[in-house]
Amino acid sequence: MKLFHVSEEPDIKFFEPRLPSRSDLDQTVGLVWAIDEKRLPNFLTPRDCPRVTFHIGNQTTDEDKRKFFTSSNYSHVVIVERAWIDRIKNTTLYLYEFAPDDFVLQDSVAGYYVSTKVQYPKAKHIVTDLFAELIKRNVEIRITDNLWDIAEAVKASTLNWSLCRMANAKKALDKPSRK
């Protein structure tokens, strides 16, 4: 298993555990976060880029596969707003790879792993073309003007999904009232 921390910072030498801000976690225990390779595509955008990502899970129905994927060749989708295309094109990401020994699974759907120990990367991979990296990983990429409708549909589906940095997404457009 490969575990990664994705960053726009080029020279991180070590990762110190940080106290989580999430209320569902023990806020007294510092953690180093990592993502597994299967869910790595969820993070192959600039950090603050709002995105809707989803992939086929064990509970995903055939109906949802047909509804949410354009081809049976794909099992993972990343959707971003059109306004972020230039930033995605111009961002370099650094994938810090960790030995998995000190990590435990925190969320099986999201692919999150955590460690309470200081971590030293065993490798650093540089990604300068994020779209090409997603394509290489056989991810369907979609561009939209607004993420909110697809986000709601995905949340109501049987897919495994992640909504990232949605506070940065364009606000849903008010629909005109019909008279």
Sequence-distant (≥ 6) Cβ neighbours of residue 48 within 8 angstroms: 165, 168
User: What digits encode the pLDDT tens for the residues 83-130?
Assistant: 999 999 999 999 999 999 999 999 999 999 999 999 999 999 999 999
The CA-atom distances, in angstroms, between 152 and each of 52, 161, 163, 169, 172 are 10, 11, 10, 13, 11
pLDDT above 60 for 175:
no
Tell me if 150 sits within 8 A of 79, measured CB to CB: yes
**Alpha helices (H) in 11-77, listed in sequence order:** 62-68
pLDDT above 90 for 57:
yes
User: What digits encode the pLDDT tens for the residues 59-77?
Assistant: 999 999 999 999 999 999 9
Dist CA 135 CA 75 (whole Å): 12
pLDDT of residue 174: 45
Mean pLDDT for 39-60 is 97
**137 DSSP 8-state letter:** T
Confidence of residue 171 (pLDDT cuts 50, 70, 90): confident
- Number of residues assigned to the chain: 179
